[in-house]
Structure 1
Amino acid sequence: MSDENDFNCRVFPSAADDVEHAKRVECSKQLMTSSAFRLAYDDKEFVLRDEMRPVRLLLELSKTELTLNDHNINNTVVMFGSARILRPKKAKKRLFHTKQQLEQQPDDPEFKNQYQQAKIRQQQTDYYTQARILAKIITEQSMLGDIPNLYVVTGGGPGIMEAANRGANDANGKSVGLNIVLPEEQQPNPYITSELCFRFHYFAMRKMHFLLRAKALVVFPGGFGTLDELFETLTLVQTKKIKPMPILLFGKEYWQRLLNWNVLVEEGMINEEDLNHFVYVESVEQAWQIIEKHVKGLRKPHKSL
């Protein structure tokens, strides 16, 4: 009589089974070292060929997709911002150090510049604190069950990304980090949930996963990378490739100094209503109210036509 395991067993061996079986096959050493004889999916040199790029794109899409599904990560709040914004303690220490250097050599232009940059970094720490608190609130409120389960997602690195993952960790919740391999290696911050810390080669796949489950986007001051992610999202919303969601720009003064949106309207490059795709926020409370209202609205049943 067959037991339950026999009844549920696979008819065909798994790909993993065949990898192990292939290692035990007795044949000449010449064959065993031949690329042609290796299983295609177990042949690193073959998979890394330029012609196999479509397959690697699919792997990067699928690995993250399946893992997030396995962990029931269905609704996210994505938090972008500069990797260069420092923790408050680190910024304070840097400011103190550069001030000492400048006092010792007050006419040195390099020390003057370093001191000015340190003062700017000190001022920017407010954004680190706000990102951390907001991520904690999002995670805590989600765990209470009054809103759909929301998980914080970041680019996985330092700065604002670290602050957001840290806030979720403060609430004893999970958060996601989507790291990318860069020439100057981006180190994952230590606050990402380990089983949800991913690594990408392709920016395109990484940016797709930022938005696939997003219910809101929170953008803190940042540089090229932050702007790239912001403008891609705005373009997708404008062209109706994705559903509208709250796009919150933290720090109105920074964004208005950086981007003259009205020029785009005046020159006819965008419509005036396109400016409604985003909103400025100045506080954690304001940001959370907008996010909460939006996600609660998603739960309301649609009226029958």
Structure 2
Amino acid sequence: MSDTSKQELEQNLQALAGHQQEEDIAKHLANEWQKAENTFNNESVHHTISIFGSARIPAPEEKTDSACSKMSRFYQEAQQLAYELGKIIEDSPHQGVRLITGGGPGIMEAASRGSFDAGHPSIGLNIVIPREQRLNPFIAAKHSIEFQYFALRKMYFLRRAKALIVFPGGFGTLDELFETLTLIQTKKMKRVPVILYGKDFWARLLDLAVLEECGLIDNTDESLYQIVDSVPEALEAMQPVFSSLNNSK
């Protein structure tokens, strides 16, 4: 076989391998989609309240030298808030509402834990990544959905969302937050309450006045979210959501 023929054969094999890889990705996405739909449909979930936050923030009782240990109040308050929300949902006449989290440790665990304590089975949207992520013990296996792809996971955080509550977090949390704000801003999804928990944290992080001064966002875009600093404030911000659900047919 000539060198030219060998080169052509190698190119054809590489192209075939690339095509097969694309087909495998498409099949994997379809399988993840179907598994997620089956879980939500089997549980008769029509509406969700998503709670985001860092996987690194520990519970107050955990002893760690991490800088995140200074933020453990957010674990405690996420647990308390999820407990209160879980009780409201369980006592609500409107069926088909469920709390969902990222299914992992940190704030995700806190929210799952509070929901569990309230007798409300939350759903966990887990993700396969090299570090930090593991299924927390407060989510039943049948209520856990494991994703390979962030895009599909984020879609399911929003697909049935009636509200989003965002605790302090890193790049992953910010990715989820800003994608949500972008989709609402561009009217790719229906507007829902986006509640940022932790006044000092978000005030330091989000200086959107810079974007407004540069004309990169509208002066109304900051109204796409609200900031709260306590469990009672967060519950008050959620009242319109529950009123809407209870009044819906």
Q: Which TM-score band applies after superposition, normalised by the shorter structure? A: 0.7 to 0.9
Question: Alignment partner for residue 166 of structure 1, among 107, 113, 117?
Answer: 113
Q: Distance in 1 between matches of 2:157 and 2:133?
A: 17
**Residues 225 and 301 (structure 1 numbering): CA distance in 2 closer, same or farther, change over 3 Å?**
closer
1:50 aligns with 2:39: no
Q: Shift of residue 301 of structure 1?
A: 6.0
Aligned to 1:213: 160
C-alpha RMSD of the superposition: 1.8
Residue by residue over 1:162-184, the C-alpha shift from the partner in whole angstroms, topping out at 9 and shown as x without a partner, is: 00000110011110111111123
1:203 aligns with 2:150: yes
Residue by residue over 1:27-84, the C-alpha shift from the partner in whole angstroms, topping out at 9 and shown as x without a partner, is: xxxxxxxxxxxxxxxxxxxxx8433322221211121012211111111110001111
Aligned to 1:138: 85
Q: Distance in 2 between matches of 1:176 and 1:214?
A: 13
User: Counterpart of 1:140 in structure 2: which amino acid?
Assistant: K
Instruction: Report if the CA contact (8 A) 1:134-1:284 is conserved.
Output: yes
TM-score by length of 2: 0.87
User: Counterpart of 1:145 in structure 2: which amino acid?
Assistant: S
Bigger Cα Rg: 1
Residue by residue over 1:213-264, the C-alpha shift from the partner in whole angstroms, topping out at 9 and shown as x without a partner, is: 1111000011000000000000000011111111001112111111211111
Identity among equivalent positions (%) equals: 45
Structure 1: gaps spanning 5 or more residues: 1-47, 95-113
Q: Shift of residue 277 of structure 1?
A: 0.5
Q: Shift of residue 137 of structure 1?
A: 1.0
**Residues 137 and 301 (structure 1 numbering): CA distance in 2 closer, same or farther, change over 3 Å?**
closer
Residue by residue over 1:63-121, the C-alpha shift from the partner in whole angstroms, topping out at 9 and shown as x without a partner, is: 1012211111111110001111001110xx33xxxxxxxxxxxxxxxxxxx5xxx5x43
1:89 aligns with 2:36: no
Aligned to 2:49: 77
**Residues 57 and 228 (structure 1 numbering): CA distance in 2 closer, same or farther, change over 3 Å?**
same
Aligned to 2:68: 121
User: Counterpart of 1:61 in structure 2: which amino acid?
Assistant: W
How many residues align? The count is 230
Q: Distance in 1 between matches of 2:159 and 2:188?
A: 11
SS of equivalent residue, structure 2 residue 178: helix
Q: Distance in 2 between matches of 1:203 and 1:153?
A: 16
**Residues 128 and 226 (structure 1 numbering): CA distance in 2 closer, same or farther, change over 3 Å?**
same
Instruction: Report if the CA contact (8 A) 1:180-1:203 is conserved.
Output: yes
TM-score by length of 1: 0.71
Instruction: Report if the CA contact (8 A) 1:237-1:243 is conserved.
Output: yes
Aligned to 1:224: 171
**Residues 61 and 284 (structure 1 numbering): CA distance in 2 closer, same or farther, change over 3 Å?**
same
Q: Distance in 2 between matches of 1:242 and 1:153?
A: 18
Q: Distance in 1 between matches of 2:128 and 2:105?
A: 14
SS of equivalent residue, structure 2 residue 239: helix
Q: Distance in 2 between matches of 1:154 and 1:138?
A: 13
Aligned to 2:4: none
